[in-house]
Chain A
Amino acid sequence: MKKDAPLIELLREYGVSRRGFLKFCSITASLMALPPTMAPAIARALEQARRPSVIWLSFQECTGCTESLTRSHSPTVEGLILDVVSLDYHHTLQAASGTAAEEAREIAMKENWGKYLLVVDGSIPLGNPGFSTIAGIPNVEMLKEVAEGAAAIIAVGTCAAYGGLPHAAPNPTGAVPVAEIVKEKPVVNVPGCPPIPVVITGVLAHFLTFGRLPELDGLGRPLAFYGNSIHDRCYRRPFYERGQFAETFDDEGARKGWCLFRLGCKGPITRNACATTKWNNGTSFPIESGHGCLGCSEPDFWDMGGFYNAVSEPAMESGTAVAWGLAGGALAGAAAGLLNRRERKAARASHQRVTVDDLKREE
């Protein structure tokens, strides 16, 4: 791969037509809620973009995020964009190993200091630096070192964005997300377990086109993709409105495609684009396959109660403290009630009969 060839040329080498490329640009524009006139701008920017250097760090993760991106369906513009960026360091994909691999990272950092993009998947253990190391370097140290020279950081997957599975109670490794360690640099969270490929490339495209990161919500997610809940965009929503719910996975309601709320669908509290962009080359998304949303792109989704408990059910067993609090509150309430009852009883006991002669003040 020629290191400084423009992106479009490389795409062409992979057999992507100009038409296919423009289609990608307009889909990206519309997905990101940009005006249609922005599609040519994206195309222009991407065509001329010199392959940005990308360093991809994988910490406590399962490689699912990388798999999602590279193996979803091929060849895709999404996948190729990732291929054609100068992916200078990626455990899973790079050929080099050992000292050579680390050297590649150091060279890429030195050559592109202040300009490279840092992509992180996986959470960082703070409980004991030895829990997860690469080439003997603890994750937290490597992250701090690489983040220092990055233009921007993209935390891909729920583990990097919010801690994910390693962070689930009781969090044995003391896992934390990227944003808890990197405070000075902008961090875009692209949560999901795994995240939708086009969301990752959409963020990359936005960065390449405008030179800055897209607008984010309170949880650091690009608003364009995470602005709506799954529930808001779900094709089964009309059944919810009509109160038609599947009660088991093989009842009549399930066969008729009714709402999966009572089977634990977390769609109402999950913000993601699954219901609109869908998965596997636009084939379907979990609810379409008959299974409720797990809420995988939300913080602490492992600890939100059982996957098959309805959102309306309490997520945690209320601890003894809560029970004592309730008992105490009930006792206090009962005591106050008794006190008030006594007061009223006293007032009634001292009741003075009111006759018609008592209706006026004595002059």
Chain B
Amino acid sequence: MSGASLERGLQALREQMDTPVAAFFSSCVHCGLCAEACLFYTETGDPRYTPIHKLEPMRRLWEQEYTLPGRLKKALGLARPVTDEELEAWRPLVYDACTLCGRCSLVCPVGNDLVYMIRKFREGMAAAGHAPEGLIGATTRAVKTGSPMGVTLKALQAQARHVEQETGLEIPFDREGAEYLVLMSSMEVINYPEYLAAITRIFHRAGKSWTISSEAFEATNSGIQIGVSDIAAELVQRVVDAAEKLKVKTVVSPECGHAYMALRWEGPNLVGRSFGFEVKHILEVLDELRREGCLPLEGQETVRMTFHDPCQLVRRGGVVEPPRNLLRTVAAEFVEMNDHGTTNWCCGAGGGVSANEEADELRLKAFHRKKRQLEEIGAEALVTACANCRIQLEEGLEANEMEIPVIGLTELLADHLAAAEQESGESS
């Protein structure tokens, strides 16, 4: 049988009902604190966006099939079954109004990992055919052409040639035994080729060997965003195969939060074994280079700079200090937003929201939180380390007529590489 169906969706959900899920649903005290932690609630005031409410159909299925009172109610015909109509009604809550940012999990007083459950709920939604068009398209492209935005190897190679001309340095493809295997997000290939130029110069200056695989260059994982572990595992497997074939020591996740989460934290669980290489975010690598003294930097930015924490990198990924260590070396006036680090507010477009056109209006509304945060501290430049955050921030700033440049941290560092290196002067 192929094709999505309600029964397949429910069956997929049944597979997801593990001990943590049972513990979380049983221990919810209905305090509603998660609502205040969710920017989709705070920016709209719509109570449907309360994180635990986004899980209601899943909770009911759990109650009806995994608890004694629920089973009794179901046997007596008193339980309302989960229907297709209901799942369809929940689609905007689960996909449009959740970026999997995990702020709700952080504030829950009884320790319920809500984002863990929403990730699981999406498994059922996708199998039941209730995933949004945009995400289905992105996922299909990721599996069939190797990139959710349809970027082919040819397009990347063309970009690489441009960068080689610009920097006068070689971009090594498929070099066996290199120390670092660099992955890209298609957003970077299309919108921010500066990233590729920046790491080319940084690795050259640091004297480290690196390579790009022509078989697996895409880092983002649409399978996780749409909520299909089978597809997510397939996409992770491509990277694992390429890394092991090239015998690299470290796979470098690009400036993309969800890609890092997918490969570093979900990856080994998805493929069912630990990797024979390390996975690091580019900022972790750069901070290591800085500590080793391989990243000589000079000059400082004088504008008032702040850092937007990509949720998957900082709150859920644990990379909190590296961006700050790096930014402080090149920014004379680095100021933190009021909620930063692990308590940061999401940009509003992660977790597949940016690939989902139905959510366009809502995600720009959600941006208002970031707008206020920036206004509070009077930031003059915004640095981040995620191409997906970056495009949302740029769009949001433009929609609100705010003239604040958004800069990728890696490029910013490349711009400050100490002499003995020609300056390209390219910056956004």
Q: Which of B18, B139, B230 contacts A353 (CB 8 A)?
A: B230
Q: Report whether B66 and A340 are in contact in the complex, using a CB–CB cutoff of 8 Å.
A: yes
B154: CB under 8 A from chain A? Answer: no
What are the interface flags for A345-358 relative to B under an 8 Å C-beta threshold, 1 for contact and 0 otherwise?
A: 00110111111111
* Residues of chain B lying within 8 A (CB to CB) of residue A354: 8, 12, 126-127, 228, 230-231
Q: Is there a chain B Cβ closer than 8 Å to A2's Cβ?
A: no
Instruction: Tell whether, in the assembled complex, residue A357 and residue B2 are in contact, meaning their CB atoms are under 8 Å apart.
Output: yes
Q: Are B140 and A359 in contact (CB under 8 A)?
A: yes
CA distance A62 to B117 in the complex (A): 65
* B126 with A347: CB separation less than 8 A: no
Query: B36 → chain A, closest Cβ, in Å?
Result: 28
Judged by a CB distance under 8 angstroms, whether B1 is at the interface is yes
Q: Tell me what chain B mostly uses at the interface: helix, strand, loop, or mixed.
A: helix
Closest partner residue, chain B, to A362 (CB atom) = B3
A361-B231 contact given A343-B65, A344-B18, CB 8 Å threshold: no
What's the Cα separation between A352 and B230 when bound, in Å? 10
* Smallest Cβ-Cβ distance to A363: which chain B residue: B3
Q: Is A360 an interface residue (CB 8 A)?
A: yes
Chain B residues with CB below 8 A from A352, complex form: 1, 8, 11
The residue in chain A whose Cβ has the minimal distance to the Cβ of B22 is A340
B19: chain A residues at CB < 8 Å are 337
Whether the Cβ atoms of B8 and A358 lie closer than 8 Å is yes
Bound CA span A320–B19, Å = 30
Chain B residues 50 to 67 lying within 8 A of chain A, measured CB to CB, are 65-67
Let me know if A343 and B66 touch, CB within 8 A: yes
Tell me the bound Cα distance from A357 to B139 in angstroms. 10
Considering only residues 1-44 of chain B, those with a C-beta below 8 Å from chain A are 1-5, 8, 11-12, 14-15, 17-19, 22
Nearest CB in chain A: distance from B83 CB, A: 14
The size of the chain A interface, using a CB distance under 8 A, is: 20
Take A336-B68, A359-B4 as given contacts and tell me if A344 and B17 are in contact as well, using a CB distance cutoff of 8 Å.
yes
Chain A residues whose C-beta falls within 8 Å of the C-beta of B136 in the assembled complex? 356, 359-360
Q: Within 8 Å of chain A (Cβ to Cβ): is B108?
A: no
B17 touches A340 (CB 8 A): yes
Per the bound structure, the CA–CA distance linking A351 and B1 in Å amounts to 12
Tell me the minimal C-beta distance from B205 to chain A in angstroms. Answer: 41
The residue in A336, A340, A359 that gathers the most chain B C-beta atoms within 10 A of its C-beta is A359
Q: In this assembly, does B92 line the interface, its C-beta being within 8 Å of a C-beta of chain A?
A: no
Bound-state Cα–Cα, A354 to B139, Å: 12
Contacts of A355 in B (CB 8 A): 2, 143, 230-231
Task: Check if B226 sits within 8 Å of A359, measured CB to CB.
Answer: yes
Please give, as numbers and ranges, the residues of chain B lying within 8 Å of A347 by CB-CB distance: 11, 14-15
- Chain A residue with minimal CB distance to B222? A356
Least Cβ–Cβ distance between B238 and chain A, in angstroms: 14
Docked CA distance A348–B1 (Å): 17
Q: Is the CB of B66 within 8 A of A360?
A: no
* CB–CB B17/A359 < 8 A: no
B5: chain A residues at CB < 8 Å are 361
Kindly state the separation between the CA atoms of A352 and B2 in the bound complex, as whole angstroms: 9
The residue that A359 contacts in the complex, of B11, B131, B144, with Cβ under 8 A, is: B131
Which residues of B have CB within 8 Å of A344?
Answer: 14-15, 17-18
- Determine whether the beta carbon of A356 is less than 8 Å from that of B66: no
- Asked whether any CB of chain A lies closer than 8 Å to the CB of B129, the reply is yes
Chain B, residue nearest A359 (CB): B136
Chain A residue nearest to B3 in the complex (CB): A362
A198-220: which have CB < 8 Å to B? none
> Which one of A337, A343, A353, A361 contacts B3 once the chains associate, using CB atoms below 8 Å?
A361
State A353–B18 Cα separation when bound (angstroms).
19
Shortest CB–CB separation between residue B318 and chain A, in angstroms? 29
Q: For the complex, what is the distance from the CA of A228 to the CA of B5, rounded to whole Å?
A: 63
Residues on A with C-beta less than 8 A from B230 are: 353-355
Q: Is the CB of A362 within 8 A of B2?
A: yes
- Given that A340-B17, A350-B11, A351-B15 are contacting pairs, would A356 and B140 also be in contact in the complex, using a CB cutoff of 8 Å? yes
Closest-by-CB residue of A relative to B139 is A356
Q: What's the nearest-Cβ distance from chain A to residue B322, in Å?
A: 35
Instruction: Establish whether residues A356 and B65, one from each chain, have CB atoms under 8 Å apart when the complex forms.
Output: no
Within 8 A of A (CB), among B113-169: 126-127, 129, 131, 136, 139-140, 143-144
CB distance from A328 to the nearest CB of B (A): 14
CB-defined contacts of A351 to chain B, threshold 8 Å? 11, 15
CA distance A344 to B61 in the complex (A): 13
Residues of A within 8 A of B127 (CB): 354, 358
Residue of A nearest to B15 (CB): A347
The docked-state distance in angstroms from the alpha carbon of A343 to that of B66 is: 8
**How far apart are the CA atoms of A356 and B141 in the complex, in Å?**
9
Question: Which residues of chain B have C-beta atoms less than 8 A from A362's C-beta?
Answer: 2-3
Interface string of A36-75 (1 = CB under 8 A from B): 0000000000000000000000000000000000000000
Chain B proximity of A262: nearest CB distance (Å): 27
Contact partners of A357 in chain B: CB under 8 A = 2-3
Complex contacts, B68 vs chain A, CB 8 Å: 336
A360 to B131, CA, bound (A): 8
Q: Bound state CA distance, A220 and B11, in angstroms? A: 60
What residues of B have a CB within 8 angstroms of the CB of A336 in the complex?
Answer: 67-68
A361 CB contacts on chain B under 8 angstroms: 3-5, 129
Compute how far the CA of A244 lies from the CA of B262 in the bound complex, rounded to whole angstroms.
47
Q: Is the CB of A358 within 8 A of B4?
A: yes
Which A residue's beta carbon lies closest to that of B133? A360
From A348, A352, A358, A360, residue with most partner B Cβ within 10 Å:
A358
Q: How far is the CA of A360 from the CA of B4 in the complex (A)?
A: 5
Distance of A361 Cα from B7 Cα, bound (Å): 12
- Shortest B344–chain A CB gap in Å is 32
What's the minimum C-beta distance from A292 to chain B, rounded to whole angstroms?
Answer: 32
Question: Among the interface residues B1, B14, B139, which one has the most CB atoms of the partner chain A within 10 A?
Answer: B14
Q: Chain B residues near A340: list those with CB within 8 A.
A: 17, 22, 66
**How far is A319 from B164 in the complex, measured between Cα atoms in Å?**
80
Q: Give the chain A neighbours of B131 by CB distance below 8 A.
A: 359
Q: Which of A351, A354, A360 has most chain B Cβ within 10 Å?
A: A354
| Segment 302-327 of B: residues with Cβ below 8 Å from A | none
Inter-chain contact A356/B15, CB cutoff 8 Å: no
Q: State in angstroms the CA–CA spacing of A322 and B47 once bound together.
A: 43
Q: How far is the CA of A359 from the CA of B9 in the complex (A)?
A: 10
Expressed in whole angstroms, the Cα–Cα distance for A350 and B131 within the complex equals 22
Chain B residue at minimum C-beta to C-beta distance from A345: B15
Beyond A348-B15, A352-B1, A358-B127, list 8 extra A-B contacts (CB 8 Å): A340-B22, A343-B65, A354-B8, A356-B140, A358-B3, A358-B8, A360-B3, A360-B4
Question: CB within 8 Å of B: which residues of A?
Answer: 336-337, 340, 343-344, 347-348, 350-362
A-B CB contact pairs (8 Å), 30 listed? A336-B68, A343-B66, A344-B14, A347-B15, A350-B11, A352-B1, A352-B11, A354-B12, A354-B228, A354-B230, A354-B231, A355-B230, A355-B231, A356-B139, A356-B140, A356-B231, A358-B3, A358-B4, A359-B4, A359-B126, A359-B129, A359-B131, A359-B136, A359-B139, A359-B226, A360-B3, A360-B4, A361-B3, A361-B129, A362-B2
